[in-house]
Each structure stands twice: as structure tokens, then as C-alpha cells.
């Protein structure tokens, strides 16, 4: 039993890192996604093309490969990051690309009559976006954003590849040391707890916005 | 009434020779039209005759290929030109539009649908905007729905809210784009009654409609459009009883 508690404590220590990376990624990737989406629906052709290339690149290659590139590749040209910074940067850029596409599709799903109504009421493009379009798009992107939020928790396990101590790596260390697979179950339960929290939070959000439609 | 120098009543809206085509399909063919302050003009005609496109050109939702539109003597739209100066922006604020599909903001309550534009566009303070909104809701007989979301309203109620929202901007001219075409037949009359009230208040109206009896009752002039052209402009009495064109007779089943 003592062994079980020790294992759990050790794995939970790994989860601190998972949470830190999760929060850092959310803080940077969501604004990145909003900016990317607004550029994509705007009439800035060149900027929009650049965002196209960005999402193409980051959605089209494995996250693990991107992580290797940031951590092992960039030092070749003299750019060095700590493992955590490398992970946070790569994850933010990768998730920012997905969020860009999710938010873009959310914005573009709003009926064109809404833009027209705002226009004939004299609203500027900025007012139309901030008061009419984005609040409605927000409701529609809650479910796909929740999906990404869940995937992100699980993707954090990839950072073991650059030597960081997350939930899964902590669990695996105990497995190899003690020849028992209990730590995997503990890890699974911790992941489930985290993902359930995310789902619950998004359900609350969805409910809050279900007052209309 | 506005008077120009020579004492003749000035037009509120002048549409001069506008043309518009989508690809090779000409939807507006040299359309000209004048509307005086306080005047009510209805536009009738078969579907696809360019009626809605004409309204959308006036409200700035569509660009024209040629021609120009003046409102209160100010050019507000001209082919291949973009206007961003304050005179034009302020002039356009005085043109309201009501859509066939209402286009209410679904994420806002009835009250917030009405007060949003007066607050952020006209910089009216919130308290005054709410007072105005309440008066308008009484006018359209929907004060009890002030906190409701649009999804809980019937089509007729939605359209009356859309009219109230439009009125909150204090327009001099309101464009109605088939305001009752998306409605259940039994809900049509409640909306027409509100529009009729606006005509009685001497607000200038340009109404695209398929409600012939209604057009006949409220209009000072009726325009018949077909294939992007104005075929006839006349008083409602003349146009509905004895139109010059046989095509209009056919359309109205007068033969």
C-alpha cells in the first residue's frame, strides 16, 4: 500500500509539469488562433496567405517532429531553449494552428444576414465582429475547442521525448523499476481526471451559452 | 418638407440610371427612381425582377456597375467609388432596412437587439437607449417580450422587433425587402399593420412586397419591375386597375 501511495505521489509530481505545459499552451495558442482566424477572414491577402502556410505546416507535420525540431534542430543555428520553453513554444504554435482553423470555421459559419443587419444599422467592421459575429462564433466553437483541449492533455506525454518528466514518463519509470503495471493504471486515472475536468468546464460553458437557439 | 432654392419639394432619394449584373445576367437595367420626403413607394413584380437588388444597392449591401444614388442631396453610392467621409456615413445611418429573414441577433435579447446600434453607432447613453427601446416596443406591441431571445418569438413578432430595431436609429427612409414573405399567412397582418403605422407617421418607405392589397393601401406610388427594368410607375389606383402594360395586367390577373 505504501508503495502504491509513493508511486501515486511520484506520478502526481510529473503531473505538475503536465499542468504547467497545458496552461502555457492554452494561454498562447488561443490568442494565436483568434488572431490567425481574424486574419484569414479579413481582406489582407498577403497576411492571410502567410497564415495559410503556417496552418499547413503545423497541422501537416507530427507534433513530435516539431518538438524535435525546436529542441534539437534550432540549436544548430544557435537558438537554444530550455526543454520547457521548447515544449511550450512548439505546443502553442501547433495548437494555435488548429485553433486558427476552428475559429475561422466558426466565424464563417455565421449567416451573412448578420453582417448585413449590422451594416445597415451603421456598425463598422470592427463593431460587427466584436459585438455580433465573434460572440455567436464563440458558441459554435465550444465543442471542437473542447476536443482540442482534451487532445492537448494527452499530447503533453510527448515531452518525455526531450527528457521532461510528465505523468506518463514518471509512471514508466516506476514500471521499469518495480516490474508492475499498476503505475500505468494510476497514470490513466490521473489523465481521466484531468480530461473529465476539461469536459465538465466546457459543458458548463456550453450550458451558459445555450440560452439562445 | 425640404425645399430646394426654386421652392420645389426636394427629393429625399434619387436613383440615377443604375445598372448591375451578376456575371452576364443583368439584374438592374438603367433603373432611375425618385422618392420625396414622407412618400411611400411600393415595388412589385415577379421574382427575379431585381426588386431586392435595387434595395440592396441603396443600402450599400451591393455595389453597382454604373449610376449613382443620392440621399438628401448627398451622393452616397456611385459605381467604382468608395465613400468613407463622415457626410456619407451619417447620411447612410438615416437609411434603415428590414429584411425578409429578419436577421435579428440571436445571441441578444430583444432589448439588446434594439439598443446595440444606438449605443455603439450613435453614442446614445444606455439609459436613453432603453427608454427609446421601450417606447418602440410599445409601438410594435411587444413590450412583454423585452427580455426574450429571438428564438422564442414567432415570425411576426421577430419582424416587428426588426422594425423596432430599425426605428431605434431614427431613420428618414426605411427599405422593406419583402417583410412578410417569410411569414405564416396568419402572421402577415400584424406586421403590415405596423408598417402602415409608419406610413401614417410620414416616414418615407420603399417597400418591396408581394402583398398587392397592402401596396395599394399604403403607397403614394407603385412601381412595377420586370427583368431588371421599371416597366411602369404610377399611382396605386391607376396601376392596379388600369395599367398601361399588358404584362402588368397579366401579372395582376386583370384580364
172-211 in A: which are within 8 Å (CB) of B?
Answer: 211
A139-157 in b/e form (b: 16+ CB < 10 A) is bbbbebbbebbbebbebbb
| DSSP strand pairing (B229-234 vs B221-226) | antiparallel
Condensed to tens digits (0 to 9), the pLDDT of residues B52-68 reads 999 999 999 999 999 99
Residues of A in contact with B169 (CB under 8 A): 121-122
**Which residue does chain A place closest to B114, by CA atoms?**
A121
A33-68 in b/e form (b: 16+ CB < 10 A) is bbbbbbbbbeeeeeeeeebeebbeebeeeebeebbb
Condensed to tens digits (0 to 9), the pLDDT of residues B140-198 reads 999 999 999 999 999 999 999 999 999 999 999 999 999 999 999 899 999 999 999 99
Say what the alpha-carbon torsion angle A123, B17, B13, B4 is, to the nearest 10 degrees.
130
- Residue of A114, A122, A139 lying closest to B117 (CB–CB): A122
pLDDT of residue B9: 62
Condensed to tens digits (0 to 9), the pLDDT of residues A165-196 reads 889 999 999 999 989 889 999 999 999 999 99
Q: How far apart are CA B35 and CA B173, in angstroms?
A: 10
The DSSP annotation for A117-179 comes to HHHHTT--HHHIIIIIIHHHHHHHHHHHHHHHHHHHHHHGGGGGGGT---HHHHHHHHHHHHT
pTM beyond cutoff 0.90: no
CB atoms within 10 A of CB A104: 22
B222-249 in b/e form (b: 16+ CB < 10 A) is bbbbbebebbbbbebeebbeebeeebbe
* Closest Cα in chain B, distance from residue A51 (Å): 28
Q: How far apart are CA B20 and CA B22, in angstroms?
A: 7
Amino acid at each position: 500500500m505504501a508503495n502504491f501511495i509513493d508511486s501515486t505521489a511520484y506520478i502526481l509530481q510529473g503531473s505538475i509539469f503536465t499542468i504547467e505545459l497545458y496552461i502555457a499552451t492554452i494561454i498562447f495558442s488561443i490568442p494565436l488562433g483568434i488572431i490567425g482566424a481574424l486574419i484569414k477572414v479579413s481582406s489582407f491577402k498577403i497576411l492571410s496567405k502567410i497564415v495559410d502556410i503556417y496552418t499547413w505546416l503545423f497541422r501537416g507535420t507530427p507534433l513530435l517532429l516539431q518538438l524535435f525540431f525546436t529542441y534539437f534542430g534550432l540549436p544548430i543555428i544557435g537558438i537554444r531553449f530550455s526543454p520547457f520553453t521548447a515544449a511550450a513554444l512548439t505546443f502553442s504554435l501547433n495548437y494555435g494552428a488548429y485553433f486558427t482553423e476552428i475559429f475561422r470555421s466558426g466565424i464563417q459559419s455565421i449567416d451573412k444576414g448578420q453582417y448585413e443587419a449590422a451594416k445597415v444599422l451603421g456598425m463598422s467592421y470592427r463593431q460587427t465582429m466584436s459585438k455580433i459575429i465573434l460572440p455567436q462564433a464563440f458558441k459554435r466553437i465550444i465543442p471542437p475547442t473542447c476536443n482540442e483541449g482534451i487532445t492537448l492533455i494527452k499530447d503533453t506525454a510527448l515531452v518525455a521525448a526531450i527528457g521532461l518528466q510528465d505523468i506518463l514518463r514518471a509512471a514508466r519509470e516506476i514500471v521499469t523499476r518495480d516490474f508492475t503495471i499498476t503505475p500505468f493504471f494510476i497514470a490513466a486515472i490521473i489523465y481521466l481526471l484531468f480530461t473529465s475536468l476539461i469536459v465538465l468546464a466546457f459543458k458548463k460553458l456550453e450550458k451558459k451559452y445555450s440560452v439562445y437557439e | 418638407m425640404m425645399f430646394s432654392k426654386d421652392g420645389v419639394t426636394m427629393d429625399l432619394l434619387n436613383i440615377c440610371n443604375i445598372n448591375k449584373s451578376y456575371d452576364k445576367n443583368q439584374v438592374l437595367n438603367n433603373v432611375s427612381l425618385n422618392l420625396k420626403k414622407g412618400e411611400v413607394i411600393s415595388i412589385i413584380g415577379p421574382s427575379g425582377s431585381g426588386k431586392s437588388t435595387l434595395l440592396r444597392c441603396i443600402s450599400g449591401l451591393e455595389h453597382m456597375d454604373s449610376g449613382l444614388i443620392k440621399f438628401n442631396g448627398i451622393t452616397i453610392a456611385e459605381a467604382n467609388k468608395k465613400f468613407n467621409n463622415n457626410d456619407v456615413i451619417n447620411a447612410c445611418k438615416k437609411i434603415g432596412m428590414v429584411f425578409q429573414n429578419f436577421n435579428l441577433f440571436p445571441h441578444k435579447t430583444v432589448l439588446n437587439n434594439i439598443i446595440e446600434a444606438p449605443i455603439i453607432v450613435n453614442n446614445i447613453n444606455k439609459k436613453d437607449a432603453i427608454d427609446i427601446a421601450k417606447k418602440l416596443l410599445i409601438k410594435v406591441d411587444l413590450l412583454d417580450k423585452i427580455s426574450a431571445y429571438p428564438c422564442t418569438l414567432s415570425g411576426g413578432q421577430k419582424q416587428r422587433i426588426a422594425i423596432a430595431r430599425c426605428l431605434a436609429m431614427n431613420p428618414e427612409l426605411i427599405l422593406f425587402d419583402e417583410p412578410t414573405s417569410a411569414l405564416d399567412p396568419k402572421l402577415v397582418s400584424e406586421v403590415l399593420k405596423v408598417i402602415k403605422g409608419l406610413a401614417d407617421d410620414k416616414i418615407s418607405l420603399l417597400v418591396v412586397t408581394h402583398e398587392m392589397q397592402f401596396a395599394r393601401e399604403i403607397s403614394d406610388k407603385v412601381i412595377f419591375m420586370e427583368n431588371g427594368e421599371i416597366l411602369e410607375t404610377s399611382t396605386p389606383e391607376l396601376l392596379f386597375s388600369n395599367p398601361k402594360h399588358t404584362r402588368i395586367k397579366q401579372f395582376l390577373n386583370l384580364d
